[in-house]
Amino acid sequence: MKGMVFTEFMEMVESKFGLELADRILTTCDLPSGGSYTAVGTYDHHELMTLVQLLSLETNIPIPDLVRAFGHHLFGRFTEMYPRFFQGVSSSFQFLEQVDAYVHVEVLKLYPEAELPKFTSQRMDENRLAFEYRSRRPFGDLAEGLIAGCAEHFGEQIQIQREPLAAESGTAIRFLITRLG
Ligand code: HEM
């Protein structure tokens, strides 16, 4: 997983919980990388899970809540780091529909070693989008947080229902996103 995900995670920990806690997590974690991440490096995604587990132990906040909060935060960072992906896009549904065929395709050109999930989307009606996530990895909570961050970016209120799908391996989740206003 790209180092940028790790550096953004640690930035979030620092800004929400303070530098001291961020340092403590990095020094107590016994990780192959030693916990010193660079945005351009690539690291085992299990390290992110270890960091989240440690943060959960320190804060008493459940792991899924922390991962969702991170997804939300990360989307905000993406809007600053990759403004070109937002040109001409005026709603969360329009953006989400472009993630698989455009955004992640461009991400892969920038970072050929990235391992990205697959998304399919289907408009149920004007205010409902079915969005299916499939990945070898268990990052459904991250996807949910990113979806929430996306709605916030476009100033929309949404409700997200999720349903696990059968998957031979990895993770598959169907998000039903309802736009409330
Ligand atoms: C400007 C928008 C976006 C950018 C630049 C972006 C970029 C990235 C990057 C760099 C990774 C790390 C891949 C790796 O290191 O192996 C990633 C992973 C991921 N992205 Fe995106 N992404 C964007 C939008 C979204 C949105 C809207 C979703 C939606 C739900 C999403 C879902 C995910 C998930 C769940 C992962 C974790 C990997 C996995 O589940 O297998 N991304 N993305």
Closest residue CA from atom 26 of ligand 1? 146
Ligand 1 mean position, distance from CA 178 (Å) = 21
pLDDT in tens, 96-150: 999 999 999 999 999 999 999 999 999 999 999 999 999 999 999 999 999 999 9
1, 3, 37, 67, 131 from 13: Cα distances, Å: 18, 15, 14, 11, 29
Q: Is the pLDDT of residue 157 over 90?
A: yes
The string of pLDDT tens digits covering residues 66-98 is: 999 999 999 999 999 999 999 999 999 999 999
Domain ranges of the chain: 3-61, 91-179
Measured by CA distance, the residue closest to atom 30 of ligand 1 is: 143
C-beta of 48 in contact with ligand 1 (< 6 A): no
For the CA of 137, the closest atom of ligand 1 is 41
CATH code given to domain 91-179: 3.90.1520.10
Atom of ligand 1 nearest to the CA of 85: 1
Please tell me the distance from the alpha carbon of residue 39 to that of residue 9, in angstroms, as a whole number.
Answer: 11
d(CA 132, CA 121): 6
Closest CA to 149 of 46, 68, 49, 94: 68
Q: How far is the CA of 104 from the centre of ligand 1 (A)?
A: 7
